[in-house]
Structure 1
Amino acid sequence: MASSTHAVSATPLTRLKGIGDKMAERFARLGIESVEQLLFHLPLRYEDRTRITPLGALRAGVHAVIQGEVQLSEIKFARRRMLLTRLSDRTGFITLRFFHFNARQQESLSRGNWLRAYGEVRRGSAGLEMVHPEFSMIEPASAPEVEPSLTPIYPATEGLHQLTLRNAMHQALALLRSDRLQLPELLPAELLNGESLPGLKQALLYVHQPPVEADLDELLEAQHPAMQRLIIEDLLAHVLSLRQLRQRSQTHQARILCVHNEPGERFLAALPFELTGAQQRVVNEIDRDLQQGVPMQRLVQGDVGSGKTVVAALAALAAVQTGAQAAIMAPTEILAEQHYRNFDQWLAPLGINVTWLSGKAKQGERRAALEKLSSGQAAIAVGTHALFQEEVMFDDLALVIIDEQHRFGVHQRLALREKGRRNDVLPHQLIMTATPIPRTLSMAVYADLDCSVIDELPPGRTPVETVVIPDTRRDEVVARVHQACRAGSQVYWVCTLIEESEALQCQAAEETAQVLAEALPDVRIGLVHGRLKPADKEAVMTRFKAGELDLLVATTVIEVGVDVPNAGLMIIENAERLGLAQLHQLRGRVGRGSRASACVLMYHGSLSTNARERLAVMRRSNDGFEIARKDMELRGPGEVLGTRQTGMLQLKIADLQRDEALMPTVIQLSDQLLRDRPEAVTPLIQRWVGQAVRYGSV
């Protein structure tokens, strides 16, 4: 617990002038409920209002402070009503254009008045102009001073304007400057001295009111020591909040599972391949966790086809052999079905009952599955989010396996874990992802998990050759498909559409299948899309797997989980519309056997710079980690991890990509604080993470 030296005090916002209860509610929408929290609401950018630019020296495209006398003010009726005001000083003139104005503003803009205005200078029909600048009336003889420091622009919300925010911040900074508001220094002095970083008070004053001579680029790129000091604290609070959750989960108990068991040995002996060194290493790490008596919290990252499912099956066998149950949850029906088929095929011969639970199951099937789970007759449950619905009861759930966990909401994962809680005993959790993320990022995002990496593909997997061509060469592609089918290879043809509409995607797939059937009458063609009944989809996939179909036309439903070793060619239409992770997942459906494989990325029209870069990365690399790193660079971590995961990532000032280099320092610091200054941990988390901490107990 925090000691009194670091007790978190809160000064109500209503202590500041101009903030009543109504305004305080608007601040609360930004997560600001005290003056202390206000100080950590940091600027997005800055404007330079520290000097007045003569009108004759203005250039289009710059933001500037100007002042002058109103020469003329008139309302014009063009396509819409507008107020045009001509402002002049001795050096030149400019037009101020307003589309929204009231009588009071109109009066301020009367001829003969002097104004000071700030805005962006644009080129208009009658020379330079500003549209809707901020302005105020002044007396030329006693004009107020210009701003003494750069003007911050803050993240805002409806009904809360920059002026209100700056006015409140001005008062908060005055309290801080005069020491009437105390913010405890929570970072060790040796770190600040060693890295030449300012103290907290000094850093906040600088960032909110940078002096005129401040290097704006250094501030905006977050390289200034004041920014670095705050970024370190922000990252540190997030890492500590996750590590604290980790410590909390370690206070619970978990069943000790029987890892070296006879079914496990029989399962391995029946596999047509040996485990790779990387799989063996990860299995050993999981085995160690399962014998600790505290809940395992392990993330297994592995590229498409690296063999994560086999590793998961061995962990599930440890639960079954101990007399308990395991549950495997996947984000889509097709991936869950694939897991179910694999587990059933592998484990049914060992006398283990595997049950399938899907949201689309018929009432009777569903009732039977629920009965098997609650009675303990089924040792393993596989399903989608249907697994954590209220009526699903387990007899004795000891292990939860979650695939592609970033696709689930935080509360969904928590709900599944709670199904296995027995008083203070929690199930073990194994989380798998084929979306590898760079190590420094995983330090921040998964600080509450132990991470394992399967960084080796099974022997015999051949790298896939990737080519990028425009869809104007479609005839050549169709000829290549024909050639591949005649040579005994199987082919995927994936249809993607920019519209989210599933109906349009399915229609595109149906039309493509029809066109290909006419062009290739001797090729056996199957079709799968999201609107087919599960049984029909299953029938087509089974025929394709059995080699009874040569060409499978599909929407992106085949992105994950489909394993046909004889498939050696994939065509992806409109590839420019897919993200790197999805392209990599799709490409992972070929090259699963020893046959030389290829993937054709077909694009439509001219490519944007970003799309060109994405397709070039796919052509260059088959390495999931490399692709993930590039994906983060192009899209940012929030999107790569999935928006749901970013519940853990509401960083105030840090940027995981930009500040990657600081992570080793932050990890070291988190060790140091937990060991030497545990009383500083809670105040730090409350300062930066606040209420978001409740997400983490997953």
Structure 2
Amino acid sequence: MASADSPGTPLTRLPGIGPRLAERLGRLGLRRVEDLPFHLPLRYEDRTRVRRVGELEPGLGALVEGTVTASEVVSGRRRRLVCRLSDGTGSLELVFFHFYANQARQLARGTRLRVFGEARPGPVTLQMVHPDWEAVSEDADPPAGGFVPVYPATEGINQPSLRRAISAALAWSGSVTEWLPAQLLVDLGLPTLTAALQRVHAPSADTDVEALLAGDDPAIQRLAYEELLAHRLSLLRLRAEQRSLAPAPILQEGKTLTRDLLTSLGFALTGAQQRVDGEVSADMGERRPMLRLVQGDVGSGKTVIAALAALRAIGSGWQAAVMAPTELLAEQHLRSFRAWLEPLGLTVGWLSGRSTAAQRRPTLEGLQAGDIPLVVGTHALFQERVVFRGLGLVVVDEQHRFGVHQRLALRNKGAGGVQPHQLVMTATPIPRTLAMTAYADLDVSVIDELPPGRTPVTTVAMPDTRRQEVVDRIRHACAAGRQAYWVCTLVEESDVLEAEAAEATASRLAEQLPELRIGLVHGRLAATAKEAVMRRFEAGEVDLLVATTVIEVGVNVPNASLMIIENPERLGLAQLHQLRGRVGRGETRSSCVLLYHGPLGETARARLGILRESNDGFRIARRDLEIRGPGEVLGTRQTGALTYRIADLLRDGHLLERVQASAPGLLNDHPEAVTALIRRWVGEGERYAQV
């Protein structure tokens, strides 16, 4: 039996696999003998029954039987062996570009053959190029080939080589070790690993291969369950390791500060905010480090929850850090926290990658001395030179833009033998199935209620041939004292190109709307320039803000009631919903115009339709998951972490409850199995980088 700590068996240990084939298999991600059994077929060739030649259709693989009526070696640009096969219902050409003299003799006229291949149109009749074949007698037994798997391949590897390698791996001792307890499989009604792999790689003639390919067969469900379980175990083990490294400070003070903030807000927290704030407060009162994700729809009030948590840390004599993925979002947080905390007598520091050394120095000194109780910043907070006197709380906004390992880097900023509590926030609603897999190392709180007075945004889709109507609509809205956004998008993710597009759009709109004050914001602007434009827009000194998607999150201008998104077909649903969330923040009825470039494909039309129908971020996120997949929904930095070999979150979401229920028992009672399962499905990195 293989050891859970075994690094794996080199492919070259299998018969027939030398260094060259092993290198080619490595391109498919197959680097160990243990990897081969989990390389599943794309489809199956049906060799269970003989078809008539006259019934063949181009593009279909089929098994046929007949007699060779002609056979000759044809010269030309490529020398080839051409045979004509007939069965009385029609004839078929068999073409071999690579053949031996002995093969030509075996395929002589009068030989009866059983042939499998894909029929293709030929000059005269259908052809099969390099089909599998065998000589048979007139009274040969019915075919016993069953369903033959066809695997994902790469250059230099043919199907017979892959089949032989996988077959050898299945027979190799330890390559398919069963790590799940037998009773668990019985309770779940799932087959053993050996039975599942046998069914997948060598289905019998009575197998429903369509169910296998669709993932509905118990064999595929067995493999998907194990893969989902391994990913969950990796994050739960990460969570346990995190909490075992060092205790966190108990942060129960700050009641006066939190009361003063709530009094100054001028509005009461929603029931959902109060519930989530209670969950956060309870976590911060424990020695066990808080690892909590707070998610909520656009405008649900997550920043207030973060501010209350920060005040509890500060009131308990510790520091807090708020980290955001972009300069613009970090700047928005800076303004919010300064507006709320400075009246309470608290200093809020700022750290950005674009800050000069002279600008950074006072903040760095203040953090180290403890004079700055709270700092807001971007990834610059990761830097080694950033030293806190006593960091008790880390708030990470839009976690999916960073990745797990970057969030964990801040744990090292703790001092005095403690690690800070971690509060992670996202305004991207995450479907439950995705949250259960992507954030298994975090407790999840959901703010599922919007503050009173928020008006639903009316969304319409219009072709860009009606651009002038949209321009007129902006003119009327601004004439009525309102403000508007015009968002430019590009296919290429390039700050330079996006900046050029935004600048060209702003110039064109300035010509069409000379009476309006137009501002411009894009990723190439200096932070001070962006800040100046945003402040003017918030103050009502800019009527129309032309921007790239940098305004996706964090911008709050209640007087803005009209959003134009150009080329929305180029963005995902969640991002469109975030952009739309910049309007509808006041009491005035707001609108969002999706100005698309036609004709739209079926998928793009469906996406824009969902936005028109719903303002519910969670419903939109579920549809986004269905359309784009988990990696794209969470963002490119997390894509690799959520690439499953077999499991499909949409198809296999029903397995997650069982995965969630069985994972703790395995962690506690079968640590060796946990290590082996993580190595099998997640790899050496365990889906995160140790830092």
Same fold (TM over 0.5): yes
1:590 equivalent in alignment to 2:583: yes
**2:504 alignment partner, one of 499, 506, 511:** 511
Cα offset, 1:38, TM superposition: 2.9
- Asked if structure 1 preserves the Cα contact closer than 8 Å seen for 2:292 and 2:443, the reply is yes
Cα offset, 1:268, TM superposition: 1.6
1:498 equivalent in alignment to 2:496: no
**2:55 alignment partner, one of 54, 57, 60:** 57
- Asked if structure 2 preserves the Cα contact closer than 8 Å seen for 1:84 and 1:95, the reply is no
1:552 equivalent in alignment to 2:549: no
Cα distance between partner residues in 1 of 2:158 and 2:336: 57
Cα offset, 1:168, TM superposition: 1.8
Q: Gaps spanning 5+ residues in structure 2: where? A: none
1:351 equivalent in alignment to 2:345: yes
Cα distance between partner residues in 1 of 2:2 and 2:175: 14
Cα offset, 1:137, TM superposition: 6.7
Change in 2 beyond 3 A, CA 1:309/1:56: same
1:263 equivalent in alignment to 2:261: no
- Asked if structure 2 preserves the Cα contact closer than 8 Å seen for 1:253 and 1:294, the reply is yes
- Partner of 1:441 in structure 2? 434
- Partner of 1:484 in structure 2? 477
Matching of residues 468-483 of structure 1 within 5 Å = 468-483=461-476
Change in 2 beyond 3 A, CA 1:403/1:95: farther
Cα distance between partner residues in 1 of 2:477 and 2:100: 73
Cα offset, 1:127, TM superposition: 4.2
Q: Deviations over 1:76-133 (max 9, x none)?
A: 66xxx896946433443445679xx67x679967994888765443445544345xx4
1:325 equivalent in alignment to 2:322: no
- Partner of 1:40 in structure 2? 38
- Partner of 2:212 in structure 1? 219
- Partner of 1:385 in structure 2? 379
**1:165 alignment partner, one of 156, 162, 165:** 162
Cα offset, 1:413, TM superposition: 2.2
Change in 2 beyond 3 A, CA 1:426/1:28: farther
Cα distance between partner residues in 1 of 2:185 and 2:570: 46
1:420 equivalent in alignment to 2:414: yes
Q: Gaps spanning 5+ residues in structure 1: where? A: none
* Mean CA deviation greater in 89-98 or 386-395: 89-98
1:150 equivalent in alignment to 2:147: yes
- Partner of 2:601 in structure 1? 608
**1:456 alignment partner, one of 438, 446, 449:** 449
Change in 2 beyond 3 A, CA 1:366/1:9: closer
Letter in 2 for 1:58: L
- Asked if structure 2 preserves the Cα contact closer than 8 Å seen for 1:301 and 1:432, the reply is yes
- Asked if structure 1 preserves the Cα contact closer than 8 Å seen for 2:411 and 2:419, the reply is yes
Q: Deviations over 1:381-432 (max 9, x none)?
A: 2222222123333332222211111111333223222232654x22211111
Letter in 1 for 2:145: P
Cα offset, 1:272, TM superposition: 2.6
**2:198 alignment partner, one of 202, 205, 214:** 205
Cα distance between partner residues in 1 of 2:322 and 2:206: 59
Cα distance between partner residues in 2 of 1:419 and 1:555: 34
Matching of residues 30-429 of structure 1 within 5 Å = 30=28, 32=30, 34-65=32-63, 69=68, 71=71, 74=74, 85=82, 87-90=84-87, 91-94=89-92, 112=108, 118-123=116-121, 126-130=124-128, 133-135=129-131, 138-139=134-135, 148-156=145-153, 159-175=156-172, 181=174, 185-251=178-244, 252-420=246-414, 422-423=416-417, 425-429=418-422
Cα distance between partner residues in 1 of 2:268 and 2:327: 29
Change in 2 beyond 3 A, CA 1:520/1:644: closer
- Asked if structure 2 preserves the Cα contact closer than 8 Å seen for 1:574 and 1:604, the reply is yes
**1:669 alignment partner, one of 662, 675, 679:** 662
Cα offset, 1:561, TM superposition: 1.0
Cα offset, 1:4, TM superposition: 11
Change in 2 beyond 3 A, CA 1:121/1:367: farther
TM-score by length of 1: 0.89
3-state SS in 2 of match to 1:693: coil
Letter in 1 for 2:162: L
Change in 2 beyond 3 A, CA 1:649/1:476: closer
Change in 2 beyond 3 A, CA 1:157/1:129: closer
Letter in 1 for 2:387: M
Change in 2 beyond 3 A, CA 1:158/1:256: farther
Cα distance between partner residues in 1 of 2:117 and 2:205: 18
- Partner of 1:625 in structure 2? 618
- Asked if structure 1 preserves the Cα contact closer than 8 Å seen for 2:114 and 2:136, the reply is no
Letter in 1 for 2:586: G
Letter in 2 for 1:599: C
- Asked if structure 2 preserves the Cα contact closer than 8 Å seen for 1:74 and 1:85, the reply is yes
3-state SS in 2 of match to 1:691: coil
Cα distance between partner residues in 1 of 2:440 and 2:182: 25
Percent identity between matched residues is: 57
Cα distance between partner residues in 2 of 1:4 and 1:88: 50
Cα distance between partner residues in 1 of 2:534 and 2:4: 61
Letter in 1 for 2:221: Q
Cα offset, 1:506, TM superposition: 2.3
Letter in 2 for 1:462: T
* Mean CA deviation greater in 475-484 or 602-611: 475-484
Cα distance between partner residues in 2 of 1:561 and 1:237: 36
Q: Deviations over 1:544-567 (max 9, x none)?
A: 111112111222221111110000
Cα distance between partner residues in 1 of 2:640 and 2:334: 30
- Asked if structure 2 preserves the Cα contact closer than 8 Å seen for 1:528 and 1:537, the reply is yes
3-state SS in 1 of match to 2:205: coil
Cα distance between partner residues in 2 of 1:194 and 1:255: 42
Cα distance between partner residues in 2 of 1:409 and 1:318: 27
Q: Deviations over 1:339-378 (max 9, x none)?
A: 1121122212222222222222223213333333333332
- Asked if structure 2 preserves the Cα contact closer than 8 Å seen for 1:468 and 1:602, the reply is yes
3-state SS in 2 of match to 1:398: strand
Number of equivalenced pairs: 683
Change in 2 beyond 3 A, CA 1:120/1:258: same
Cα distance between partner residues in 1 of 2:175 and 2:121: 49
- Asked if structure 1 preserves the Cα contact closer than 8 Å seen for 2:254 and 2:314, the reply is no
Letter in 2 for 1:568: S
Q: Deviations over 1:183-207 (max 9, x none)?
A: 5544444443355432222122111
Cα distance between partner residues in 2 of 1:239 and 1:368: 43
Cα distance between partner residues in 2 of 1:106 and 1:343: 83
Change in 2 beyond 3 A, CA 1:626/1:139: same
- Asked if structure 1 preserves the Cα contact closer than 8 Å seen for 2:321 and 2:376, the reply is yes
Cα distance between partner residues in 1 of 2:641 and 2:382: 21
